[in-house]
A and B are shown apart, each in its own frame.
Chain A
Amino acid sequence: QVQLVESGGGVVQPGRSLRLSCAASGFTFSSHAMHWVRQAPGKGLEWVAVISYDVTDIHYADSVKGRFIISRDNSKNTLNLQMNSLRTEDTAIYYCTRDFTIIPFDSWGQGTLVTVSS
């Protein structure tokens, strides 16, 4: 079955960097657009970024544009999020999720917690 497993979260100081990964299995990873969605403690869901199946189309939320970079390695079935110049407001659980044909976000990972604190 579809599995998405995030990793790379942790505690980091403001201004530093962190790289998240999402390992995908159980489906043809190279055929699907992939997204990162985050959720600050006690808050709602916030879409972060998307990358198309073939890396030709990438979009970011304004809140992370210029600081975060989404990428993928279709040979390794892995989605990545390079987070630079981290701010306290980036503290959140980060989920990876996919689009399945016409169905958005049909499967989600369990999330990885990023805490930005001095």
Chain B
Amino acid sequence: DIQMTQSPSSLSASVGDRITITCRASQDISHYLAWFQQKPGKAPKSLIYAASNLQSGVPSKFSGSGSGTDFTLTISSLQPEDFATYYCQQYKSHPRTFGQGTKVEIK
């Protein structure tokens, strides 16, 4: 199975900050990487697929990059609605493994 490792597990940031979350795969997954946002008590929401493609309706302050084993999610200017937990997921092969999540909190 492909293991996905996110870092950091949590981070504190202020409104307006630019933040970056990293995700590393245990083997080459090409561009088969997705990012999800989850707010407390809600279902996850798709943000990015194929490593860098923005899902329809997702604001352009979100961006993704990477290929192979190393990926990043960047939020260019944090807003109050962006404080949430973010997950990466590989879909190169089954089982479709998720990273452990990164909780973004208000500083």
The chain A residues found within 8 Å of chain B, CB to CB, are 35, 37, 44-47, 50, 59-62, 95, 102-111
Contact = CB atoms under 8 A, between A and B. Distances in A.
A57 B46 CA distance: 24
Contacts of B65: none
B49 interface: yes
Contacts of B34: 103-105
Contact of B95 (A59, A95, A107): A59
SS class of chain B's interface: helix, strand, loop or mixed?
loop
B44 interface: yes
A104 B95 contact: no
Contacts of B44: 37, 45, 95, 105, 108
B74 interface: no
